[in-house]
Amino acid sequence: MKNKILNKTLIILFAVPGGLSAQVHELPKLNYNYADMEPHIDAMTMEIHYTKHHQGYVNKLNAAIEGTDAATQNLEDLLLNVSNYSTAVRNNGGGHYNHTLFWNILSPKAKAKPEGKLLEMIDKQFGSLDNLKAELEKAGATRFGSGWAWLIVTPEGKLAVTSTPNQDNPLMDVVDTRGIPILGIDVWEHAYYLKYQNKRPDYLSAFWNVLDWEKVEKNLEDALQSPLLKKM
């Protein structure tokens, strides 16, 4: 019996370098159907975006970290120090994190306006919700090529609007403005092209119809209490 326990322990310890069991990243489940964001985001775009693009990031991330010390890290800690890892980890780890956040803040029954602390912070720092929306739309519209527009909580506990290229995000130690994302807008063409073609501003304007501010409020609450802020 002791030998069997010992053998199982050795298998776990030597699964990856460092003696820790590996993290296996998975595609998160959606809380809605592909067509539920119609007419603002079409069903075909949702399906392709989720099952092809996001699934591809997950598959490539798992392949990139297999057998390395990156396989022992949770996704957030991996991204915090992403400069220590390969381009494949940066691109696909970012893609997985970014899209997981994106799906989570969408809802067919979205809360239309923020309340409480989030609204107070928005009014204090941006003057109004409309001003914040304008800044986020500008960040998304002026992002050259592919990337993201973000509302983040900075290490100082304030809100900021920023933008990153490709699948980078503000958690990463390779970006200029760091913080914890609480709202992210995907401005890769695969997020909108089937419906909006080259009219990215129209997509950005429509996005507010499916953004659930209740989820963003919860993200703010979690971010303000997160130890990640102290690690940046």
Q: Round to whole Å and give the CA distance between 95 and 57.
A: 6
Instruction: Name the residue among 146, 166, 169, 185 with its Cα closest to residue 232.
Output: 169
- What pLDDT is recorded for position 13? 34
The CA-CA-CA angle for residues 7, 13, 14, to 5°, reads 90
- What pLDDT is recorded for position 137? 98
- What pLDDT is recorded for position 18? 44
- What pLDDT is recorded for position 17? 42
Q: List domains and CATH numbers for the chain.
A: 42-232 (3.55.40.20)
Dump pLDDT digits (tens) for 105-123.
Answer: 999 999 999 999 999 999 9
Confidence check: pLDDT of 4 > 70:
no
- What pLDDT is recorded for position 15? 41
Instruction: Name the residue among 133, 121, 158 with its Cα closest to residue 211.
Output: 133
What is the pLDDT averaged over residues 151-162? Answer: 98
Confidence check: pLDDT of 12 > 80:
no
Provide the token pair at 45: 């775009």
Tell me how far CA of residue 21 lies from CA of 8, 39, 68, 173, in angstroms.
12, 44, 11, 25
At residue 68, the 3 state secondary structure works out as: coil
Which helix (H) or strand (E) is 186 found in, with range?
Answer: strand 180-186
3-state helix, strand, coil in the chain (%, to 5): 55, 10, 35
Q: Round to whole Å and give the CA distance between 72 and 61.
A: 13
Q: How confident is the model at residue 21 (pLDDT cuts 50, 70, 90)?
A: low
Spell out the residues 6+ positions from residue 71 whose beta carbon is closer than 8 angstroms to its own.
16, 22, 23, 65
Which residue is listed with tokens 């102290």? 230
